Homo-oligomer: A and B are copies of this chain.
Amino acid sequence: MSASLEDVIRNRCEWLRGEGPLSEIVISTRIRLARNIRGFPFLPRADADLRAQVADTVETTIRRTDLLADYLHLSIDELDDLDRRVLVERQLISRQHAEGSGTRRVAFDPGGSCSLMINEEDHVRVQVMRSGMQLDAAWEQINAVDDALDAKLDFAYHAQFGYLTACPTNVGTGIRVSVMLHLPALRITNELDKVGQAAKDMKLAIRGLWGEGTEALGDFFQISNQITLGRSEEELIDDFHRTVIPQIVEYEQQARQALTAKRLHALDDKVYRAMGGLQSARLMSSTEAMQCLSHLRMGLNIGRIKTIDLNTVNDLFIQTQPGHLQKLHGGRLNGEQRSIARAALIRSKLHQN
């Protein structure tokens, strides 16, 4: 069925549900697979007609697969920039997918936990997102989707190299595992280099909230694997599970405890100023909103603030983004208008009266 963006934005993002193990620090878990269909060229070498054929083939398969029958379908190339922005903000599609050219589509489950990007960099990219630390559940879900597609599509696979992908860095398992972490205390205590070292030791990359090239807004960090060749999917997932994520989570917990025990005034100053700013401002940039919401979220998680609902804060992370903000407002807004609308939205959600 065709999706309505208006319906989509009213749902809570799966990855911002604030549920799942370690959800005070692990925002979400994401696994992505890259697949290409044998017999079609990789996209950089496919003309418009071939791209359309690939898209039709994949979409038809999705519609005919029981497991994916209720997925919502959108043609990215037919959407305006605002709608594309909303999909990027929800992480249902990548920025590359939004900004690409030619026939591009997406299908996603109504809950927004699984999306299939058609003609992004590869013919199909399957992405599963889960709130909190849920690698096993995500792995199970993406495997089921992969198997269902695999039963109907002939994926390009090489006995020695594994799955073949448009970009060599994805060849092999074609899997990218990514865990989004909320690390406000480590930023305050100026210990983020510990996280960088832990990631580097395991050959993992660190990026901001919306992926490559984005800043770590609101103290959110994505840790993801760089190597897809020569390791099994299970080994990759194990790296995250057993070593790097528990270690970083412990660093953040230690930083929060240290702040609470030794620098409570400084901690409360950050937390309460964030809340005060959010409740008072009449103009607010998305960058400032993310930073204040980040501190407020930490304040809620460690029990320094009890008067605000965590879900309200989680929702605001996405509702204050430019695309969502304009869709919620019902029309395009310039920079200053967004700043006014954002501040008004936040006040309306966070004021008790």
Which residues of A does B touch, CB under 8 Å?
Answer: 265-266, 268-269, 272-273, 275-277, 279-283, 336, 340, 343
Residues of B within 8 A of A276 (CB): 276-277, 279-281
Complex partner residue of A269 from B265, B268, B283, CB under 8 angstroms = B283
Docked-complex contact B273 and A281, CB < 8 angstroms: yes
Residues of B within 8 A of A280 (CB): 272-273, 275-277
Complex partner residue of A265 from B265, B273, B282, CB under 8 angstroms = B282
What are 26 A-B pairs at a CB distance below 8 A? A265-B282, A265-B283, A265-B336, A265-B340, A266-B282, A266-B283, A268-B282, A269-B281, A269-B282, A269-B283, A269-B343, A272-B280, A272-B281, A272-B282, A273-B277, A273-B280, A273-B281, A273-B282, A275-B280, A276-B276, A276-B277, A276-B279, A276-B280, A276-B281, A277-B277, A277-B280
A23 to chain B, nearest CB (A): 26
Interface-centre pick from A266, A268, A282, A283 (highest chain B CB count, 10 A) = A282
A184 to chain B, nearest CB (A): 16
Please measure, in the bound complex, the distance between the C-alpha atom of A143 and the C-alpha atom of B265, giving whole angstroms. 51
Q: Which 8 A-B pairs have the closest CB atoms?
A: A276-B280, A276-B276, A269-B282, A272-B280, A268-B282, A269-B283, A265-B282, A273-B280
Please measure, in the bound complex, the distance between the C-alpha atom of A279 and the C-alpha atom of B276, giving whole angstroms. 7
Number of copies of this chain in the oligomer?
2
Residues of B within 8 A of A282 (CB): 265-266, 268-269, 272-273
A283 closest partner in B (C-beta): B269
A87 to chain B, nearest CB (A): 30
A277 closest partner in B (C-beta): B276
Please measure, in the bound complex, the distance between the C-alpha atom of A273 and the C-alpha atom of B343, giving whole angstroms. 11
Please measure, in the bound complex, the distance between the C-alpha atom of A161 and the C-alpha atom of B280, giving whole angstroms. 58
* Supplied contacts A269-B282, A273-B281, 8 more A-B pairs, CB within 8 Å: A269-B343, A272-B280, A272-B282, A273-B277, A273-B282, A276-B276, A276-B279, A277-B280
Please measure, in the bound complex, the distance between the C-alpha atom of A283 and the C-alpha atom of B276, giving whole angstroms. 13
Residues of B within 8 A of A283 (CB): 265-266, 269
Please measure, in the bound complex, the distance between the C-alpha atom of A336 and the C-alpha atom of B262, giving whole angstroms. 13
Please measure, in the bound complex, the distance between the C-alpha atom of A280 and the C-alpha atom of B273, giving whole angstroms. 5
A336 to chain B, nearest CB (A): 8
Residues of B within 8 A of A275 (CB): 280
A338 to chain B, nearest CB (A): 12
A302 to chain B, nearest CB (A): 15
A162 to chain B, nearest CB (A): 54
Please measure, in the bound complex, the distance between the C-alpha atom of A266 and the C-alpha atom of B282, giving whole angstroms. 7
Residues of B within 8 A of A265 (CB): 282-283, 336, 340
Please measure, in the bound complex, the distance between the C-alpha atom of A209 and the C-alpha atom of B48, giving whole angstroms. 71
Please measure, in the bound complex, the distance between the C-alpha atom of A273 and the C-alpha atom of B282, giving whole angstroms. 8
Please measure, in the bound complex, the distance between the C-alpha atom of A265 and the C-alpha atom of B338, giving whole angstroms. 12
Please measure, in the bound complex, the distance between the C-alpha atom of A75 and the C-alpha atom of B250, giving whole angstroms. 60
Residues of B within 8 A of A277 (CB): 273, 276-277, 280
A185 to chain B, nearest CB (A): 16
Residues of B within 8 A of A266 (CB): 282-283
Residues of B within 8 A of A340 (CB): 265
A272 closest partner in B (C-beta): B280
A167 to chain B, nearest CB (A): 45
